[in-house]
């Protein structure tokens, strides 16, 4: 079985790595968190002491990291993938980062005879764990086809959107829609609650109609049960919307609702909710409406 490198064993990355191990891949893993490396190694991965070790061993390397700076350090930094991988190596960056950063890294890797695709995911920890992520890919079709067997293990769908960077553009679009959806759900349920109507009944009545969505089905039970254990943290959604706003400015796209939701997320972060699930957007509405959805 082909050797696969995996760098970044956080909330989602550890599950993705374990699913590849279960599928029979020979996985070489690294993370700055040694406990995460030990945990994944205990399931059958080979623990590596550095990025360089992964890059020297593997001709296909997956990265799953917090943001653009971390990916650029791993890929282009001293002792990173570009300095140590063999020509022909395929880097599959599954992080959610700025499209321009993906394009910059791909250009540098190509100049060294290596390849890169950006393949961010949606679905949070639950779908990372059960291997049903939605994967959005930017890059060359031949590289996508080469990576497809890995995507089939990690997700329920993988779509080639276009050239490098378009996967992350798609992910930013996804993150805008998810954040606005949670905000709309919270705002609507605030109206119901203040009017003396049971939000549970409202949910049952509308979930099968035009307002129904995967987001509503996933997040309303968390909101109504006051359960904000992170599947996807507010801090990470702030990161994604920062990238969306930056990209929008670069391409001249006015996104006023995204700017508003960003202020809600920043307010929640100030209140100490940065590590809470993004369904905690509802807590902003509880605060301004002086209500509790879980009552």
Q: What is the mean pLDDT of the chain?
A: 97
> Thinking of the domain 3-163, which architecture would CATH place it in?
3-Layer(aba) Sandwich (3.40)
User: Percent of the chain beyond pLDDT 70?
Assistant: 100
User: pLDDT tens digit string along 28-58?
Assistant: 999 999 999 999 999 999 999 999 999 999 9
pLDDT digits (tens, 9 = 90+) for 195-214: 999 999 999 999 999 999 99
Task: State phi, psi for 118 to the nearest 5 degrees.
Answer: -100, 135
Segments of the chain assigned to CATH 1.10.1040.10: 169-289
Please compute the mean of the pLDDT values over residues 217-237 and round it to a whole number. Answer: 95
Closest-CA residue to 91 (of 115, 69, 108): 115
pLDDT score recorded for residue 1: 64
Catalytic residue positions, numbered = 171
**For 169-289, CATH number?**
1.10.1040.10
Query: pTM for the whole thing?
Result: 0.92
pLDDT score of 124: 85
pLDDT confidence bin for 123, thresholds 50/70/90? confident
Residues of the chain with CATH 3.40.50.720: 3-163
């Amino acid at each position: 079985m082909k050797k696969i490198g995996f760098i970044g064993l956080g909330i989602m990355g550890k599950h993705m790595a374990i699913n590849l191990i279960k599928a029979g891949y020979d996985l070489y893993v690294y993370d700055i968190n040694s406990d995460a490396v030990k945990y994944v190694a205990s399931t059958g991965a080979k623990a590596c002491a550095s990025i360089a070790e992964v890059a020297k061993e593997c001709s296909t390397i997956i990265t799953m990291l917090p943001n653009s700076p971390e990916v650029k350090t791993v890929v282009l930094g001293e002792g990173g993938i570009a300095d140590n991988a063999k020509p022909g190596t395929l880097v599959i960056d599954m992080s959610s980062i700025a499209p321009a950063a993906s394009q910059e890294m791909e250009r540098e890797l190509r100049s060294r005879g290596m390849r890169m695709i950006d393949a961010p995911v949606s679905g949070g920890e639950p779908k990372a764990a059960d291997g049903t992520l939605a994967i959005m890919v930017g890059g060359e079709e031949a590289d996508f086809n080469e990576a497809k067997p890995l995507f089939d293990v990690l997700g329920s769908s993988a779509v080639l959107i276009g050239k490098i960077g378009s996967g992350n553009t798609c992910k930013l679009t996804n993150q805008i829609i998810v954040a606005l959806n949670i905000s709309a759900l919270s705002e609507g349920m605030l109206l119901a609650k203040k009017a003396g109507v049971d939000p549970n009944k409202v949910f049952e009545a509308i979930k099968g109609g035009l307002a129904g969505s995967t987001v509503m089905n996933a997040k309303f039970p968390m909101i109504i049960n006051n359960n904000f254990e992170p599947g996807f943290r507010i801090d990470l959604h702030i990161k994604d919307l920062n990238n969306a706003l930056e990209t929008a400015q670069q391409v001249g796209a006015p996104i006023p609702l995204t700017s508003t939701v960003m202020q809600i997320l920043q307010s929640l972060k100030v209140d100490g909710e940065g590590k809470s699930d993004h369904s905690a957007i509802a807590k902003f509405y509880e605060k301004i409406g002086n209500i509790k959805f879980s009552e």
